[in-house]
Chain A
């Protein structure tokens, strides 16, 4: 993907170029595209090695979480999961405030995901299908915000949150990430192709006002992309570390913050830390096992065109 300004819509109300591509599903690629060669045994061996490398640390998390620290650090480490998992989980639960952390993580990720989906679909629709003054420049501005690391604004953000009375509360983590530039861009890319102008026109002729069109035309069409964006946003919100770690404290942490503090505060028991890591990773792994295909498709479709 290259970062370019959006394509100029020609003067006609209904550009022809979108009409014949209306049926295209973005997560599918044209057969015959790219280089179509059969993979030999070498390809499978290489992929197997990389696959094992990808999964090994996760497996090691499980193994380490289900033994005592002494067993994990012994001269010959264990290779199979042991029986101390629940004991370690219980210890992690007590030491790191994990119960509250799990609830908090779900609240934060849920709020961010719902808000992101709603606002990004609206903005994506406006950038994809509506003509207004300054559209190109504003879209470029949205993409430009992707390049600003959060580090640049955390100091005043922290002071602002204290001023607002949100110091250490979940609002301070939720509000700054209510809308994402990536989400706006992602929805725009999808709607440009998936939403034919004819549908909008038809709704207009039926006398629908703009917001009505959003509710009854845009949202149904955007549903598949919203699914994918929802998952990507949830994963990101769930895993976010830097700002939550600065904004929240041990009394009211998200899972990641609780994990960080478990390791940062004192010299902890490694197997208990691993039990915490396991808890924080499991929900996402479940999502991944069920929706892996869609997430892969989403990353691939969001990345190319532009």
Chain B
């Protein structure tokens, strides 16, 4: 970069206590050293805030969680930590409720991610046509993304209510109007998945649409010259071009579904929300952690749950990576 002495010294700060004398060689070298230091240190200074904040409020707590998991800490006395070794892990791993939460998280994750991404693909394909008022459609589809988890969960809780819910009123016409959505093992998971799908489909649609618009149009021209139908073009041109994007959305949605908290908490609310239903039928890992730490006040086991979640995430990442490798290999 430019380390030569600048021709005009408008912005260079004069060294303290020195008179401004032109052609002062010692001042020149001092200033060029300052320039070089500025060039070397500036980028680190600019990225420092991110790493400082992440280090203090992300990485350090993440590691410290593992330490807390080996202690007894109560909400009533946060400064008293008592060493208990593996007891907390032992406790949660032998708790059937924990495994229920793992299963629920996984099931709701699959039930919300798969339909969501499939619908998003189809929608993106529609929006990729030349349409009137295309921006209007895109904005409408993204509106749920601007709705908070809390608001969305609350309005859907009202829709899925057993007595007087909007959905049961509609189902009345086909004779299914007495479904107790929150009580059933599958129906409660469907209800929560619907909230997730409603909020995130539009967002994923726009991500797919952007990727579709980046596909070179001569690929489609070549395909149609070869006699490919629209459907074949979608399968043979669009989908392969979108593979990295699809993988990305799968990763993001997976991480998102690991975090499900507001939806199950507020589906029924009250005491039931904190334990994920009367039979824990829609209890997710985040609810389980919250219940241990904030409802019962035992932070040790809550920290152990956090590390169990980390282990699960790493497992999912490994599986994802293997699948990705397999897909890449089979594509060649």
Contact = CB atoms under 8 A, between A and B. Distances in A.
Interface stretch (A17-25, A80-88, A177-185): A177-185
A91 to B, nearest CB: 15
Given A34-B215, A77-B166, A132 B2 contact: no
Interface string B28-49: 0000000100111011101101
Contacts of A287: 146
A214 B211 CA distance: 31
B214 A260 contact: no
A293 B156 contact: no
A306 B202 CA distance: 21
Contacts of A301: 210
Given A152-B65, A160-B61, A205 B6 contact: yes
B78 A260 contact: no
A68 B130 CA distance: 45
B142 interface: yes
Given A35-B220, A73-B164, A132 B43 contact: yes
B266 A179 contact: no
- Summarize A's interface: helix, strand, loop or mixed: helix
Interface in A208-264: 208-212, 214, 235, 238-239, 241-242, 245-246, 255-256, 259-260, 263-264
B235 interface: no
Interface string A96-126: 0000000000000000000000011011011
Give chain B's interface residue range (CB within 8 Å of chain A): 35 or more
A199 interface: no
B187 interface: no
- Summarize B's interface: helix, strand, loop or mixed: helix
Interface string B249-274: 00100010011011001100110011
A126 B149 contact: no
A209 B38 contact: yes
Given A73-B163, A73-B164, A149-B309, A304 B211 contact: yes
Contacts of A263: 154, 157, 266, 269-270, 273
Nearest to A270: B158
B303 interface: yes
B207 interface: yes
A148 interface: yes
A189 interface: no
Given A151-B306, A303-B206, A122 B49 contact: yes
B122 to A, nearest CB: 8
Q: Which of A55, A181, A207, A288 has the most CB of B within 10 A?
A: A207
Given A33-B214, A179-B50, A156 B61 contact: yes
Contacts of A212: 11
Given A176-B57, A206-B10, A51 B140 contact: yes
Given A159-B299, A301-B210, A304-B214, A280 B159 contact: no
Contacts of B68: 155-156, 159
B57 A242 contact: no
A195 interface: no
B129 interface: yes
A38 to B, nearest CB: 5
Interface string A4-21: 000000000100000000
Given A32-B217, A34-B128, A130-B42, 20 more contacts: A1-B211, A2-B248, A29-B213, A34-B213, A34-B214, A35-B215, A35-B237, A51-B141, A77-B169, A135-B43, A151-B286, A152-B62, A154-B61, A159-B299, A181-B50, A259-B154, A260-B262, A263-B157, A303-B210, A304-B245
18 contacts: A38-B129, A47-B127, A127-B47, A152-B307, A155-B68, A176-B53, A184-B47, A205-B2, A245-B261, A245-B262, A263-B269, A264-B265, A274-B158, A277-B154, A288-B146, A293-B139, A295-B142, A303-B245
Interface of B: 1-2, 6-12, 35, 38-40, 42-44, 46-47, 49-51, 53-54, 57-58, 60-62, 64-65, 68, 73, 78-79, 123, 126-131, 135, 137-152, 154-159, 161, 163-164, 166, 169, 198, 202-203, 206-207, 209-217, 220, 230, 233, 237-238, 244-245, 247-248, 251, 255, 258-259, 261-262, 265-266, 269-270, 273-274, 285-286, 289-290, 293-294, 299, 302-303, 306-307, 309-310, 313, 317
